[in-house]
Amino acid sequence: MKNNRTFTMIKPDALENGHAGAILAHIEKAGFKIVAMKLKKLTAEAAKKFYKIHEERPFFNDLINYITSGPIIAAILEKENAVSDFRALIGNTNPQEAEDGTIRKIYAKSIDANAIHGSDSDENALIESNFHFSNGEII
Ligand code: GTP
Ligand code: MG
């Protein structure tokens, strides 16, 4: 994914708390263009595949229960330096440690329910995008 696209998921707590629209506006104001988007509820099987990299972590079961607890919005975003700029926009994994003005600082309350996901490399952005979208669904 040539350094200009990243994958994001607006997580169940953000939708449950009515922050989806504000978060999408925040993302667009920061210069990201939405090139694919869908609302879906992950099955446990899909969630375990998506988060396979974390399967040995002690919080894995909590993570799967949480991410399948309600709908998510999956999206592919385009901007120069998309992966690193988007990680900066969402802030630290733990909202308490996230910088002021970041999405997690504003909209998340805890490390386990932290409002939003952002890919951590170009390689993972491509893998995660292909996990959620087929070619015909991407502009
Ligand atoms: P993502 O963008 O969601 O991948 O977050 P991240 O890259 O900032 O963090 P990481 O990939 O290390 O962790 C993935 C997700 O696991 C986090 O976003 C949290 O939702 C969850 N997580 C991380 N650490 C903990 C923890 O200590 N406890 C719990 N319950 N969940 C955690
Ligand atoms: Mg991560």
Residue 84 covered by a domain: yes
Domain with 16 in it: what CATH number?
3.30.70.141
pTM: 0.96
pLDDT tens digits, one per residue of 25-55: 999 999 999 999 999 999 999 999 999 999 9
Q: What is the pLDDT of residue 59?
A: 97
Classify residue 92: in a domain, yes or no.
yes
In a domain, 129, yes or no: yes
Q: Which domain holds residue 99?
A: 5-134
| Residue 15 vs residues 52, 65, 107: alpha-carbon distances, Å | 24, 16, 10
Determine the Cα–Cα distance for residues 134 and 68; give it in Å rounded to an integer. Answer: 21
Structurally, the chain folds into a number of domains equal to 1
Domain-located, residue 11: yes
Q: Is residue 117 part of a domain?
A: yes
Residues, Cβ < 5 Å to ion ligand 2: 120
Ligand 1 residue neighbourhood (C-beta within 6 Å) = 54, 59, 62-63, 93, 111-112, 114, 117-118, 120
Residue 23 lies in a domain: yes
> What gap in Å lies between CA 5 and CA 79, rounded to an integer?
6
Asked whether residue 139 is domain-assigned, the answer is: no
